[in-house]
Structure formats: structure tokens, C-alpha cells
């Protein structure tokens, strides 16, 4: 039983939790909640059986506590960076002379799994002045509002920051 196969039950659990979040409403009675729970279990298992093969090879694997801890750390770092990004963007937008120096730089990444790359790309897009445009074999192409460094390594250190280390903890 490979680690990919082990991830299948967790997919059903995540789907069930999302379903319960959808059907919950204030003042729901116990009886109808139990009915919704049964329907949720059936739907989650059915969807898992039908679609689990599309999740293989993406790097989505089981919830080891260490991964969950890394993911929570990643989430809070991400929220903080996002607030900083927005204050920075507010400063740029509101200053009269528009202090921008845009360009597209290339950044290498050592992450391999598609899911890890997706999270890194999303995090980059939502944080200071950077927007992921495309991935290829060597790395990511990133549009940057204030280009501080054109070199691949140093730009990568500024842009990716702590995200890549945390994501490596989540997906390794």
C-alpha cells in the first residue's frame, strides 16, 4: 500500500467536512443534521471512488501531524505576508508619482509535486508585488512591480522567502 493509496480515505474525510460546512445552518434540528450527515457520507464516498485517480501523483498525501503543523505555520506566515503586500500596494497606488519599476523575472524552485507548486504560485501571487505567470521545467516566471534584483537566485530569495521551506515541510 503506497502512500498515495493511503491518502484516499482522507480525501473522503475532507469532502465530508466541506459538505457539513455547506449544510450547517443556524437552528438546524438534530434529526435533519443526522440525515444530512448520512447523505454526506454517501456522497463523499461516491465522489472519492469516482475521482481518486485524478488526485494521484499530485503530492497530496495523508495528514501526518508534522505536515499539518507545517501547513498551519505556512497559513499564518501567508496571512501576515498578504497584509504586508496590501499595505505596500496601497502605498504604491496612493502615492502621486506611482513609484513602480515592473518586469518579469525568472525564479527557480526545487519543489516537485504539482500541488506544492500550486500552493507556492498562489502564495506568490497574493504577496508583495508579485504575480506568477507561468511555470516551466526550470522554474517560475514572475511579474514583479518593483524589480529589486534580476538575478535568479537572489530574486528567488526575496520572493519565495519562507514559503518554499515551509511547503517543503508540508509536501515531503
User: In the complex, which residues of this chain contact other proteins (CB under 8 A)?
Assistant: 18, 21-22, 24-26, 82-83, 85-86, 89-90, 92-94, 98, 100-106, 118, 121-122, 125-126, 129-134, 136, 141, 143, 145, 147, 150
Terminal CA-CA length for the chain: 18
Instruction: Note whether 44 and 97 are within 8 A (CB).
Output: no
Q: How many CA atoms lie within 13 A of 73 on its CB side?
A: 15
CA–CA distance from 153 to each of 71, 109, 110, 156 (Å)?
25, 10, 12, 5
Helix/strand/coil for 2: coil
| 133: enclosing H helix or E strand | strand 130-135
Amino acid at each position: 500500500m503506497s502512500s498515495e493509496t493511503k491518502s484516499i480515505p482522507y480525501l473522503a474525510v475532507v469532502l465530508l467536512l466541506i459538505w457539513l460546512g455547506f449544510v450547517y445552518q443556524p437552528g438546524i434540528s438534530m434529526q435533519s443534521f443526522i440525515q444530512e450527515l448520512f447523505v454526506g457520507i454517501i456522497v463523499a464516498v461516491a465522489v472519492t471512488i469516482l475521482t481518486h485517480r485524478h488526485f494521484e501523483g499530485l503530492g497530496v498525501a495523508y495528514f501526518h501531524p508534522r505536515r499539518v503543523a507545517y501547513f498551519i505555520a505556512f497559513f499564518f506566515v501567508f496571512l501576515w505576508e498578504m497584509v504586508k503586500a496590501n499595505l505596500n500596494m496601497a502605498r504604491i497606488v496612493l502615492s502621486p508619482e506611482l513609484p513602480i519599476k515592473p518586469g518579469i523575472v525568472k525564479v527557480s524552485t526545487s519543489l516537485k509535486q504539482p500541488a506544492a507548486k500550486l500552493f507556492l504560485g498562489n502564495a506568490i501571487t497574493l504577496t508583495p508585488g508579485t504575480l506568477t505567470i507561468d511555470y516551466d521545467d526550470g522554474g517560475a516566471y514572475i511579474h514583479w512591480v518593483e524589480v529589486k534584483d534580476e538575478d535568479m537566485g537572489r530574486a528567488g530569495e526575496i520572493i519565495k522567502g519562507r514559503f518554499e521551506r515551509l511547503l517543503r515541510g508540508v509536501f515531503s
